[in-house]
Amino acid sequence: MSDKEKTMHEEALRRTPIIEGDRTLWVIYAALIVISILVVYSSTAKMAYDISSSLTTTESLRQQIMLILVVSLPVVFVCHKINYTFYENITKILYWLMWGLTLATYFIGVETNGAARWFPIGPFQFQPSEILKVATILMLAKNMSERQRDIDKIRLLPTSFRIREPKQWKIIKENTWPLLYPMILSCGVIAPAHISSAVIIALASILTLYIGRVSLRELGKLIGLGFIAGAMLIAVMATTGIGRGSTGMTRLINWVTEVFTDSRRDYVYELSDTQRAMIAIHNGGLTGEGAGHSTSRAVVIHPESDYAYAFFASEYGIIAAIVLMLLYLWVTFRAIEICKRCTAPFPTLMAAGIGLLITSQAMLHILVQVNILPETGQTLPLISRGGSSLLSMSIAFGMILSISRTTSEKRTTK
For the CA atoms of 268, 269, 270, 276, what is the dihedral angle to 10 degrees?
A: 60
**What is the secondary structure of 111-140 as a DSSP string?**
EETTEEEEEEETTEEE-HHHHHHHHHHHHH
Reported pTM: 0.86
Query: For residue 305, what pLDDT band results from cuts at 50, 70 and 90?
Result: confident
Answer whether residue 386 shows pLDDT above 80: no
Contact at 8 Å (CB) between 20 and 80? yes
Domain ranges in the chain are 69-271+333-413
Which residues neighbour 159 within 8 Å (Cβ) at sequence distance 6 or greater?
167, 168, 171
Residue 331's alpha-carbon distances to 280, 387, 395, 396, in angstroms, are: 26, 21, 14, 11
Find the helix or strand (DSSP H, E) in which 110 lies: strand 110-112
Helices (H), 290-344: 308-340
In total, the chain counts a number of residues equal to 414
Q: What is the pLDDT of residues 347-374, one digit of tens each?
A: 999 999 999 999 999 999 999 888 888 7
Sign of CA dihedral 115, 360, 30, 308: negative
Tell me the helix, strand and coil percentages in the chain, rounded to 5. Answer: 70, 5, 25
The per-residue pLDDT for 243 is: 59
pLDDT tens across 86-100, in order? Answer: 999 999 999 999 999
110-112 vs 115-121, strand pairing mode = antiparallel
